[in-house]
Amino acid sequence: QWHDEQSFQFIVSFHHVCLDGWSLAAVLTEIFQDYAALQSGKEQGILPPRATYRDFVALEKRALAEEQTRRYWSGLLADASLQTLPRWPRVFCTGGHEQKRGPEIILDKKIVDGLKAVGRLAGVPLKSVLLAAHQRVMSLLYGQTDVTSGLLCNGRPEDVDGEKVIGLFLNTLPFRTQLPGGSWLELVKQTFAAEQKMAAHRRFPLSEIHKLNGGRAVFEAAFDFVHFHVYNNLQGSEGLDLREGCYFEANDLTSFTTFMLDAGGARLELHIDYDPNVICARQIEEMSAYYINTLGAMALNPQGRYEEFSPLAETEAERMLVRWNQTAADYPRSQCIHELFEAKAKETPSAPAVTDGEVTWRYAELNERADRVARRLTALQIGPDALVAICVDRSADMLAGLLGILKAGAAYVPMDPAYPKERLAFMLEDSKAGVILTQRKLAGTLPKTNARTVCIDAQDEGLAISGGRAPCSQDLAYVIYTSGSTGKPKGVAVTHQAVVNLLVSAGERIGFTAADTLLGVTTLSFDIAGLELFLPLISGGHLTLAKQETTSDGPRLAQLIESSGATVMQATPTTWRLLVESGWEGKEDLRILCGGEALSRSLADELLPRAAALWNFYGPTETTIWSTAWKVTKDEPISIGHPLANTQLYILDGKLAPVPVGATGELHIGGDGLARGYLGRPQLTAEKFIPNPFRKDPKARLYKTGDWARFLPDGRVECLGRIDQQVKIRGFRIELGEIETVLRQHPVIANAVVTARESESSGKRLVGYVVSKNGAPSLLELREFVRSRLPVYMVPAQFVILPEFPLTPNGKIDARRLPAPEETAAKVNNYVAPRDEHERALAEIFQEVLDLKKVSVEDDVFALGADSLSATRAFARINRRFGIDLPLRAIFEQRTVAGLANLARTAKPETARRPAITQRRSRVVTRGTVGLTSA
């Protein structure tokens, strides 16, 4: 039916768009619309189009050549990154191979009329009103106010009768707007202005934009407004009955939102096409509801502030804010930790309370020893809310000291004897602790202070507990110091009530009873030690303390798990990985508690068959040890689970509004577990502990965790990393800024940046990048400088010296461009290659454990970044590789591959190692049983 010229235009059009990736259905859609317009033109006596498709091709080529257009798109995408829609775990999605369409929703006529009125008020077309609503919904889903999505644009020539040219003139382009806040009307006007600015550059091909963006996609969700305006000229034509328009479309985007206005301009339809491999039907239904709610709010009150409006449906908000936070449960909220222990000591005085090596104290004896400490403290006028520093070795004496401090009404401040003196001195000064409880062998090593020193192992002077105000559950139980972003640690003050709530809730969740034995492996300066030390004692159970040197020695720790008869053990994923790599085969009645850092799916799969149960716990120090728990199962996504009793979880945006299920926001925690705040830092306390807007109680607070998180559809929470520079390594919370501050104090360091790099082989490790000002420092000297000022877990494993830092266009350090640590970054000697199979095997082991490309056989492995944990991991592999049983101390004595190879060559093969463990376990259990019976 077409003339030759028209046929030629169609062929060129079809060929061109197919090269651009458009589907035949999309081409036919354009042809259908254009052909209708062409026929209308003939009937009205209009001459054939003067513009042709070749004119459009010329316009597109001109756009490619225009430097101004290239600068526009380069500037728009300069600091943009691909924003993705929330992904629900695949277990909640059905999947599929082809794009699907969500429900087709016809908007209420009152809403449509209201939206048109908004457009008239703003002086913009309806499309801009709908596009503004789309950007607001995308902002909700992305969790950002800087929003980039795709926008379908019409690139037809502006020439006379340009709309009548047959061909496909559509181009989908990135559309970026800021939504800082304001009225709906302002948002609509801003959106229209952004459209107008983009209009001059709309013919720049998307493929070229991808090239400008380094070949990366710039959006995965897009917007389209379909209106059959070509039919307007057909309205009222004689002999023509216009009923409806029809079109087809296809794309490869994750989500494609279409608003379609019918031919008469009265009915507005909304539908979302989506990729079922990425998002699921339930998500699309909820997204559709967000659009409807947003459009309704916009039409009802154009002057309302859009940032204060939540598009969430009432049912979804109620589910997240109320139903999933119904955690109220009874617990002895008026009692203190030591009072619950005293009740058990009175109830079962002869039951074993704590085992320290070969020594076991029963409940009555531990209670009496704690009373002795309390008497000595009260004689010094120590009472409620006073702070007592405790600096002792891991032992039963430590436990007696803690209970004695609590019995005196005071709160303890744990101080690790291994900490540098400078850090201990700061903690003593900052806490203003009046007394230091220590041991005689450590007293001389403590920094000078005005605090009184009390040695726990000195002679008891027979003092009586003085009569003062009895401690109550609102008094402080402890102050734990955590890493601080300003370069100084900060003290978190926690009350008895918060600890008791945690102990009761966690104990009930895992089913801890008086029949259980818990193996304690955590240093006292790490807050999770509170659960290990006190949960058994308030439950009538048995606590076995592992010595510090045992906790970092995989084989010895594995033996202790067996010999102690432990039924519960809590540790970080790093320690559990250490055990697995040491050849630990598990214990069928052991309940594993894992927390402090992210639990990987691979480690979970290793641990599940080795134990009776695996629990993943999560919680900041500021919310008292743990706030959530999840019993890990196979083939399910790793999560931090549901809140513990009397704890509420909220995932909120920057305006403290709840984000949709599956969307990312900051995790906020409320409830009885919240700490009192930061010791002596009211401003920081007010900044991080905020009023709870979802509770009627004016005293209710929320703690801003600084963790990204999202709700899963079943109410579980998935933790997604940090918002700020804070990291967790081996469970310890580390502010990278604190390490950077220390590095900058070195006399030859001009600037420093510390990052946490992670690999499958070596896990998460700290890397320090430094720029020197007067010659390069020795890397060993640099490591010792940091070690003398910070705890060992805060010392970077590797250092990289750079001539200068890579910078972003605005002059900030570009952390993404910092180089990976080179294998020669910490070399002490020139590279010496392995000379035989033993050295080659050992070098490969250390390369894998330390995540290095090469290890010289003469290098000191500790200078390369090894520590006690990585050394243990390496030794487990060495013993398995060679079938020997070298002691762990060998690596501290022979610190090079060459030295260890000499030992490996002469070591005797391992003999009956596993049976020896089994026999030892049998003897210990029998001896323990006899002891209990004779008692």
pLDDT grade for 738, boundaries at 50, 70 and 90: confident
Average pLDDT over residues 7-17: 46
Please tell me the pTM assigned to this model. Answer: 0.77
> Please, how many CA atoms are within 13 Å of residue 183, restricted to the half-sphere of its CB?
12
Provide the pLDDT for residue 461.
54
The 10s digit of each residue's pLDDT in 891-916 is 777 778 888 888 888 877 764 333 33
CA distances from 713 to 67, 91, 100, 318 (A): 48, 10, 21, 13
For residues 313-337, one letter each, b for 16 or more C-beta atoms within 10 angstroms of the residue's C-beta and e for the rest, the string is beebbebbbeebbebeeebbeebbb
Provide the pLDDT for residue 812.
62
Tokens for 97? Answer: 């191979």
- Count other Cβ atoms within 10 Å, centred on residue 912: 9
Average pLDDT over residues 667-693: 96
Closest to 430 (Cα-Cα) out of 472, 493, 378:
493
The 10s digit of each residue's pLDDT in 610-632 is 999 999 999 999 999 999 999 99
Provide the pLDDT for residue 48.
46
Average pLDDT over residues 829-843: 83
Provide the pLDDT for residue 319.
92
The 10s digit of each residue's pLDDT in 138-171 is 999 988 889 999 998 877 766 556 666 666 677 8
Average pLDDT, the chain: 82
Provide the pLDDT for residue 70.
85
Provide the pLDDT for residue 2.
41
pLDDT at 46 over 70: no
The 10s digit of each residue's pLDDT in 493-517 is 999 999 999 999 999 999 999 999 9
Looking at 272-286, 673-687, 725-739, which range is the least confident one? Answer: 725-739
The 10s digit of each residue's pLDDT in 635-657 is 888 899 999 999 999 999 888 99
Contact 857, 833 (CB under 8 A): yes
Residues ≥6 apart with Cβ < 8 Å to 519: 544, 546, 560, 561, 564, 566, 568, 569
The 10s digit of each residue's pLDDT in 437-479 is 999 999 888 888 888 999 998 766 555 555 566 789 999 999 9
- What does the alpha-carbon distance between residue 876 and residue 885 come to, in Å, rounded to a whole number? 9
The dihedrals phi and psi of 207, each to the nearest 5 degrees, come to -60, -35
Residue 665 belongs to what H/E stretch? Answer: strand 665-671
Looking at 280-289, 304-313, 684-693, 717-726, which range is the least confident one? Answer: 717-726
Provide the pLDDT for residue 918.
31
- What does the alpha-carbon distance between residue 293 and residue 922 come to, in Å, rounded to a whole number? 67
Looking at 326-335, 817-826, 914-923, which range is the least confident one? Answer: 914-923
Provide the pLDDT for residue 506.
97
Please give the distance of CA 873 from its chain centroid, rounded to a whole number: 26
Tokens for 766? Answer: 């700290």
- Count other Cβ atoms within 10 Å, centred on residue 594: 25
Axis crossing angle, helix 496-510 with helix 337-347, rounded to the nearest 10: 50
- What does the alpha-carbon distance between residue 389 and residue 411 come to, in Å, rounded to a whole number? 9
Average pLDDT over residues 100-129: 92
pLDDT grade for 690, boundaries at 50, 70 and 90: very high
pLDDT at 118 over 90: yes
- What does the alpha-carbon distance between residue 816 and residue 79 come to, in Å, rounded to a whole number? 13
The 10s digit of each residue's pLDDT in 881-893 is 888 877 777 777 7
Provide the pLDDT for residue 49.
47
Burial category of 833 from C-beta neighbours within 10 Å (exposed 0-12, middle 13-18, buried 19 and up): exposed
**Helix, strand or coil for residue 241?**
coil
- What does the alpha-carbon distance between residue 462 and residue 479 come to, in Å, rounded to a whole number? 29
Provide the pLDDT for residue 59.
64
Provide the pLDDT for residue 919.
30
- What does the alpha-carbon distance between residue 671 and residue 701 come to, in Å, rounded to a whole number? 7
pLDDT grade for 264, boundaries at 50, 70 and 90: low
Provide the pLDDT for residue 485.
67
Q: Report the percentage of the chain scoring pLDDT > 70.
A: 81
- What does the alpha-carbon distance between residue 732 and residue 723 come to, in Å, rounded to a whole number? 17
Provide the pLDDT for residue 464.
54
Provide the pLDDT for residue 71.
87
- What does the alpha-carbon distance between residue 78 and residue 80 come to, in Å, rounded to a whole number? 6
